Amino acid sequence: MPWIRNKPVRVVMRWQLIVTLAMVLTLGLLWGFHGAASAFLGGVVSIVSAAAFSAIVSRYRGSTAGGILITALKAEAVKIVLTVALLWLVMTFYKDVVAIGFIGTFILTVLIFGLALFVTDDAKVAQIKQ
């Protein structure tokens, strides 16, 4: 993920991937192939949406508060539309989806993305201390 310049976002996206893989293994053992596939798809929906958000935010080069806000709102709008579309696609076309595994993994990975606020960017902390 070198195209994501924001360290906290890179960290939480890595954790989203780790949790998705753990859920795939766990639900695969509990419910077989469809449980594992459902967990995988739930994680992928969140990860793809987060990647789209991150790509939009990472491209911004300005420094005005208004520009930052507009970019964040655009990125969030893209993330929401993409999330809804991907959720709809999976629920519509994957007839054997294990809903609890799909939605559960999706919710876990969305919550993890929200934790980016709590990940420090060491470079920024070092600049502030100087």
Stretch among 9-18, 86-95, 119-128 having the lowest mean pLDDT: 119-128
pLDDT at 3: 64
Average pLDDT value for residue range 13-38 = 96
Whether 20 and 39 have beta carbons less than 8 Å apart is answered as yes
Kindly indicate the confidence band of residue 2, based on its pLDDT and cuts at 50, 70 and 90.
low
| pLDDT of residue 127 exceeding 80 | no
Distance of CA 129 to the CA centre of its chain: 31
Radius of gyration of the chain (CA): 17
pLDDT for position 123: 60
Q: Where along the chain do its domains lie? A: 7-117
Query: At residue 70, what is the residue type?
Result: I
- Please check the confidence at residue 128 and state whether its pLDDT lies above 70: no
CB atoms within 10 A of CB 77: 12
